[in-house]
Amino acid sequence: MIVFMNVITCPNCAWENPHYYKNCEHCNCNLTNIKPSQAPQRASGLNQNNSIILEPIFCSSCGNKVAKDAPFCPSCGQPLKSSEYGEYMGTASNGIPIKSRIAAGLLALFIGGFGIHKFYCGQIGLGVIYILFFWTFIPAIIAFIEGIIYLTSPNDEVFTRRYCQ
């Protein structure tokens, strides 16, 4: 039996949702700014429609088309960089790629006298200064202290915000 009801078609996955849903039940995409339309539905439940996705982008993991404002890919579940629901783990809030505090700390502890950890964090000028003065062992002492500070940072995003560029 086919029944006509108001539905909202998700721009991310083209799933047809009842007009009173705030988020898509299939991919959790925000549906508050989309107008409902009349569409035939099966009485047993909602079905998936193959409609055109508005403003498509491609998932970096699986390559499928998804809506620009989708929080994650409905096919593979990976978070998308354009998501407004949270930052993608690859970039900090200021747009700088997130650096690993563990990697920087270990570089500072073991070969920090040469300033390798400064190059890793994108501070090229300080890295060059460390290389110029490595023979004095002063950069090695400073790098050892910095390595401990880096390793005690609460998380990678905080580390990136404080110590990288």
**Domain's final residue, options 42, 57, 72:** 42
Residue 88 domain-assigned?
no
Residue 13 has pLDDT above 60, yes or no: yes
Q: Which helix (H) or strand (E) holds 65?
A: strand 65-67
- The answer to whether residues 71 and 10 touch, using CB atoms and an 8 Å cutoff, is no
Cα-flanking dihedrals φ and ψ of residue 119, to 5°? -65, -40
| pTM of the predicted structure, to 2 decimals | 0.47
The number of distinct structural domains making up the chain is 2
Question: pLDDT, tens digit, for every residue of 137-157?
Answer: 999 999 999 999 999 998 888
Q: 54: pLDDT confidence band, cut at 50, 70 and 90?
A: low
Residue 58 domain-assigned?
no
Average pLDDT over residues 2-15: 69
Look up the domain containing 34 and give its range: 2-42
- The answer to whether residues 160 and 98 touch, using CB atoms and an 8 Å cutoff, is yes
